Amino acid sequence: MNEGETTTLETMRRYVYENSDTPEPHQHSNLFELKLDRVYVAESGYKNLLHRAVIVCKTKGKNNFEEIGRYYEKFFVTAANQLQTETAHGLLLVYPEYCVHVVEASMEMILELLRDITNTTPENEYRTNIAKLLSISRDIPYPLYQSWSYRSIDIVAQKIDEYEPSETEDKLVIDMLTQLLKLGKHLKQTKALGGAPVSDSLHERVPELLPRQEVLGYLLDNQVDCIMTPRDLIEKYDTPFDVALAGDMVWPLNVRLFPYS
């Protein structure tokens, strides 16, 4: 793509966004704007390195919300220094028995978090083997959260073990992801409008945007086919791509008389 075509495409993108009701350059109000952005990204050679992961896990019965929040706050700073990358964006919701991670970062940072959550050692009491990866969105155009923070949801749910969903497991996961995206948008708009700072009273102001503890318990305690565990994703990345087959280890090599035999 030559310089003239790049300038024309950029001019078209700017004209579309200036003459539309789209609130932000990366929020598309129609399919044309989405396609235009994708063509621009592909032709300009720009590569987005931002991904979003949603992870739910149990907390081993630890009820100290501040300690859990401070631990992961320090973890992301340390991991960013070790990996030589930008720190993570996102939100951590700490319930009495569960945690919900929404992380926007590089894939290396996300993998480091998954390893930390699942690598149980006596030195770290916040790691757990009971964790599920609800979703991972690759190459997101912009972060939904401007920084990383944690919020405590100090509400004890009743009869979590007796919860029986009336909807399919796919619908439960989709509804929870929708809640978290709406929550992130709500927090971003509240900050942009100069409203009151987000406090730990989310369950009082926007209870409909918080994942229910009964659903969290159900997804963690049962085998759900539509989601994977963090260990599954880690194994996919740690497994070598070039695998030597048994036939490649034989000498002399087999000679085929016909190419399709």
261 domain residue, yes or no: no
Considering the domain architecture, whether residues 32 and 95 belong to the same structural domain is answered as no
Considering the domain architecture, whether residues 146 and 76 belong to the same structural domain is answered as yes
144 domain residue, yes or no: yes
258 domain residue, yes or no: no
193 domain residue, yes or no: yes
251 domain residue, yes or no: no
Considering the domain architecture, whether residues 25 and 140 belong to the same structural domain is answered as no
260 domain residue, yes or no: no
Considering the domain architecture, whether residues 220 and 162 belong to the same structural domain is answered as yes
Considering the domain architecture, whether residues 101 and 156 belong to the same structural domain is answered as yes
Q: 7 lies in which domain range?
A: 3-44
How many structural domains are present in the chain? 2
112 domain residue, yes or no: yes
Considering the domain architecture, whether residues 20 and 97 belong to the same structural domain is answered as no
What pLDDT shows up at residue 210?
93
User: Alpha-carbon torsion 116, 117, 118, 121, what sign?
Assistant: positive
What pLDDT shows up at residue 9?
53
Farthest CA pair distance, the chain:
77
What pLDDT shows up at residue 238?
84
CB-based contact 44:8 (threshold 8 Å): no
What pLDDT shows up at residue 159?
73
191 domain residue, yes or no: yes
What pLDDT shows up at residue 161?
73
Considering the domain architecture, whether residues 150 and 184 belong to the same structural domain is answered as yes
Taking the complete model, does pTM exceed 0.85, yes or no?
no
**CATH number of the domain encompassing residue 56:** 3.30.70.100
Considering the domain architecture, whether residues 8 and 68 belong to the same structural domain is answered as no
Considering the domain architecture, whether residues 114 and 156 belong to the same structural domain is answered as yes
Considering the domain architecture, whether residues 125 and 28 belong to the same structural domain is answered as no
Q: What is the Cβ-side half-sphere exposure of residue 169, based on CA atoms within 13 angstroms?
A: 13
Considering the domain architecture, whether residues 34 and 79 belong to the same structural domain is answered as no
What pLDDT shows up at residue 22?
43
Considering the domain architecture, whether residues 37 and 131 belong to the same structural domain is answered as no
Per-residue pLDDT of the chain (261 residues; tens, 9 = 90+): 454 454 555 565 555 445 544 444 455 667 777 676 666 655 555 555 899 999 999 887 655 788 888 999 999 999 999 998 888 999 999 998 899 999 999 999 999 999 998 876 655 565 666 899 999 998 888 889 888 999 988 887 777 777 888 889 999 999 999 999 999 998 888 776 554 444 557 877 888 999 999 999 999 988 998 899 999 999 888 887 777 777 777 777 667 666 665
